[in-house]
Amino acid sequence: MSGVRTDLAPTPTDFLDVRSMLDEQERLLVDTVRDWVGDRVLPDIGDWYDQGIIPAELAGELGDLGLLGMHLEGYGCAGSSSTEYGLACLELEAGDSGVRSFVSVQGSLAMYPIWAFGSEEQKQQWLPEMAAGRAIGCFGLTEPDSGSDPSSMRTTAKRDGDDWVLNGTKMWITNGGVADVAVVWARTDEGVRGFVVPTDTDGFSARPVPPKMSLRASVTSELVFTDLRLPGDAVLPGVQGMRGPLSCLNEARFGILFGAVGAARACYESALDYAGTREQFDRPIASFQLTQRKLVEMMVAVNKGMLVALHLGRRKDAGELAATQVSFGKMDNVAMALEVARTARSVLGANGITLEYPVIRHMNNLESVFTYEGTNEIHTLILGQALTGINAFT
Amino acid sequence: MKVIVPVKRVPDTAGDKVIDADTKTMDRDAGETVLCPVNEFAIEEAVKLKEATGAEVTVLLIGPDGAQSTIRKALSYGLDGAIQVTDDAISGSDALGTARVIAAALADVEFDVVIFGNQSTDARTSLVPAAVAELLDLPSLTYARFMEIDGDAITVHREHEEGWDVVESTLPAVVSVVEAINEPRYPNFKGIMAAKSKPLDVKSLADLGVDAAAVGAGDAAATMYAFEPRPPKAAGTIVTDDGSGSAADDLADWMEEQKFI
Ligand SMILES: Cc1cc2nc3c(=O)[nH]c(=O)nc-3n(C[C@H](O)[C@H](O)[C@H](O)COP(=O)(O)OP(=O)(O)OC[C@H]3O[C@@H](n4cnc5c(N)ncnc54)[C@H](O)[C@@H]3O)c2cc1C
Ligand SMILES: Cc1cc2nc3c(=O)[nH]c(=O)nc-3n(C[C@H](O)[C@H](O)[C@H](O)COP(=O)(O)OP(=O)(O)OC[C@H]3O[C@@H](n4cnc5c(N)ncnc54)[C@H](O)[C@@H]3O)c2cc1C
């Protein structure tokens, strides 16, 4: 038996040495994404956030890095493990949730359904372009009156000869206004089905949602379909019913449960750094017990969230991950991150409310992350049902 | 075309360097090590040659057992293979010793051009590329901020204070590049995945026919006598204006004293 060592001093930024649990390839990936975020996102993200923009060229850069649809195989995709996809999301979200959202939507919500349920022609047409970041995708499920209960959707697709005709409105659609292709879920005579909709089709329009205070470096749109006519082969042939959109959401939620840890880590590190340099009462604020408690609680929360994420990643790679376990990770890691962001915000005092520091940006972003991809409440009820066998939704 | 890029494993440039008081060498096990950032510019030139001409690019690293992660990092840029020379006897080599090992490793393979970084971020002697060229009796085109290969002719631009030199030679040749030469890309994930299946040829000094006595600390031409940490920055001089514009004069006096003007 080995003893406990007193000569080791864990680093404050990876206290449990989770890096030691990553293999060489995972470390190379993490370092590469972190470098890119450090060079390309962090220097300007405050301005982008302020202006409410995300530069279009990031799509091509993310494609060059091989991060778009990275966990899919073939069609120009890299075929990474799920853990690797998660780790990439984590490093991207340590930059900004908007950048991670872009990658989640492109890879897990737009490319994944084409890859999993699409025809060979649909895959050939869209996946290589989307993997390269030359074509941007979006995912239309939520509607103005249909959020947590997506099966109440009103958008319809009706047969007209061989064609399909779409009518309806989708709301809160990430990348909607910049997308080349939308994967749209609509009610048909055969139940809910998915459609691959080029956004230059007549009858398609997109407009921004009301001004946002969260996820500002991300495009969020309302999509309106007015007698939008599609050829018969625009439907995703491989799936019918709510299983289609829900399986996409499971992929994206998995990325989010990693991503949230990145946002939390960025907030904690910002607070740790600030507390060591900011002086009040002639001492660094890190020397006050109340501040130390905050720092320690944030550090512990981030490390625990990291362990949960990595564990769920390994289970997914082993083919053993339950959808309810994804709910565990999404619910708790995002709640953890939001709590850490708020605590970090308090450590930074007045500076904490500015875009000079990352914390309030992450804090505001995490409000969206808390709500999208299944709200915190919905995941709680999924887990409640898993524990008790009782459905408390309806 | 065959291109070789010698790369070095160095302490993380963000961390503090630790010098071992007994051996007076850098403690390379203290903290993370990385691929020398200067080598990323050499790799980028090699990748551009690969894209333009289908060149085969091999990285060469002289370094101990733990250096494989540095080799994988280099390979993740899409390179074809690696050679590592590792031998306990190499430990403690100075720039000349390192150059001898690199030259021997190069003499053992075919190549058209060797692309070095112009320096390393740890020892920074900038001696290795020219020493290797000398040992192999090859043209030495150092400090390139532009390079171009046309058939078996190579041209580089070497920048200096007065302008730049245009240096030409035939291949094979040894080049070292400065950081202004290009903007290195990031490795992409497919390259990262492919890196682990690229061939790695590990050689010892005996494999290369190098006499262990000609390298290592014992035979170093340079001797380290002492080292000292960089002194903390002294407080600067503050020039205060008394309201009459006196600061301008004071500042000019001070600059004259310091021989800045
Ligand atoms: C920035 C952003 C980007 C988005 N991007 C996309 C996208 O790309 N594609 C897409 O399709 N959607 C997207 N969404 C929509 C998102 O998925 C929905 O907002 C989410 O599903 C919640 O729906 P809602 O906002 O209509 O809230 P509601 O469903 O109206 O919920 C309001 C509140 O009621 C609670 N609630 C609802 N039902 C229950 C219940 N049974 N028991 C207890 N509490 C309940 C909720 O938890 C919540 O607190 C995005 C949202 C945001 C904010
Ligand atoms: C007495 C003494 C003892 C030393 N002991 C050690 C020791 O134990 N371990 C140690 O690592 N260093 C040691 N050094 C440092 C050593 O001199 C240099 O690090 C090394 O020889 C390379 O020189 P440089 O880094 O200055 O290369 P530079 O000439 O500044 O580098 C130029 C380029 O050469 C190439 N290059 C340099 N080194 C390598 C390499 N190892 N493999 C492949 N390519 C390379 C790279 O392309 C690099 O960009 C010692 C130095 C002295 C004086």
Kindly compute the dihedral angle of the four CA atoms of residues A115, A334, A94, A286, in this order, to the nearest 10 degrees.
-170
The pLDDT value recorded for residue B30 is 65
For B136, other C-beta atoms within 10 Å of its C-beta total 19
With a cut of 90, say whether residue A2 has pLDDT above it: no
Interface test with B, best of A19, A31, A75, A77 (most B CBs within 10 A): A31
Q: B140: Cβ below 6 Å to ligand 2?
A: no
Of B185, B188, B192, the CB nearest to A25: B192
**Cβ within 8 Å, pair B189-A35:** no
Instruction: Please tell me the CATH code under which domain A243-388 is placed.
Output: 1.20.140.10
CATH homologous superfamily for the domain A18-131? Acyl-CoA dehydrogenase/oxidase, N-terminal domain (1.10.540.10)
Question: Is B192 an interface residue toward A (CB < 8 Å)?
Answer: yes
The pLDDT value recorded for residue B242 is 86
Kindly compute the dihedral angle of the four CA atoms of residues A193, A68, A27, A339, in this order, to the nearest 10 degrees.
-60
Mean of per-residue pLDDT scores for chain A: 97
CATH homologous superfamily for the domain B2-214? HUPs (3.40.50.620)
pLDDT-derived band at A346, boundaries 50, 70, 90 = very high
The pLDDT value recorded for residue B160 is 85
> Mean pLDDT across the stretch A13-22?
96
Q: Which two tokens stand for residue A157?
A: 């697709």
End-to-end CA distance of chain B: 52
Chain B environment of A67 (Cβ under 8 Å): 189
pLDDT-derived band at A221, boundaries 50, 70, 90 = very high
Of A24, A27, A80, the CB nearest to B189: A80
Report d(CA A66, CA B92) in Å as an integer.
40
Nearest ligand to the C-alpha of residue A381? 1
**Cβ within 8 Å, pair A79-B193:** yes
* A262-303 confidence digits (pLDDT tens): 999 999 999 999 999 999 999 999 999 999 999 999 999 999
Contact criterion met (CB below 8 Å) for A203 and A210: no
For B160, other C-beta atoms within 10 Å of its C-beta total 8
Q: Which two tokens stand for residue A212?
A: 């946002």
Catalytic residue among A93, A129, A143, A373: A373
Report d(CA A220, CA A274) in Å as an integer.
33
> Mean pLDDT across the stretch A354-370?
98
Question: Is B191 an interface residue toward A (CB < 8 Å)?
Answer: yes
Which parts of chain B register pLDDT below 50?
none
Report d(CA B177, CA B180) in Å as an integer.
8
The pLDDT value recorded for residue B76 is 97
- Ligand 1: which of A148, A195, A214 to mutate, most ligand atoms within 8 Å of CB? A148
pLDDT-derived band at A72, boundaries 50, 70, 90 = very high
The pLDDT value recorded for residue B226 is 81
Question: Is A35 an interface residue toward B (CB < 8 Å)?
Answer: yes
A137 CB-near residues (< 8 Å, 6+ apart): A105, A106, A109, A110, A111, A126, A130, A175, A179, A180, A181, A182, A183
* A161-181 confidence digits (pLDDT tens): 999 999 999 999 999 999 999
Nearest ligand to the C-alpha of residue A149? 1
**Cβ within 8 Å, pair B73-A70:** no
- Ligand 2: which of B3, B8, B9 to mutate, most ligand atoms within 8 Å of CB? B8
Q: Is A373 an active-site residue?
A: yes
What residue ranges do the domains of chain A occupy?
A: 18-131, 137-234, 243-388
Its pTM stands at: 0.91
What residue ranges do the domains of chain B occupy?
A: 2-214, 231-261
| CATH classification for the domain delimited by A137-234, as one of 1.20.1630.10, 3.30.470.20, 2.40.110.10, 3.40.30.120 | 2.40.110.10
Q: Is A311 exposed, middle or buried (0-12, 13-18, 19+ CB in 10 A)?
A: middle
Amino acid type, B72: R
Question: Is A80 an interface residue toward B (CB < 8 Å)?
Answer: yes
Size of chain B, expressed as the number of residues it contains? 261
pLDDT-derived band at A144, boundaries 50, 70, 90 = very high
For A293, other C-beta atoms within 10 Å of its C-beta total 11
Element (H, E) at B38: helix B37-53
Chain A environment of B186 (Cβ under 8 Å): 32, 35-36, 64-65
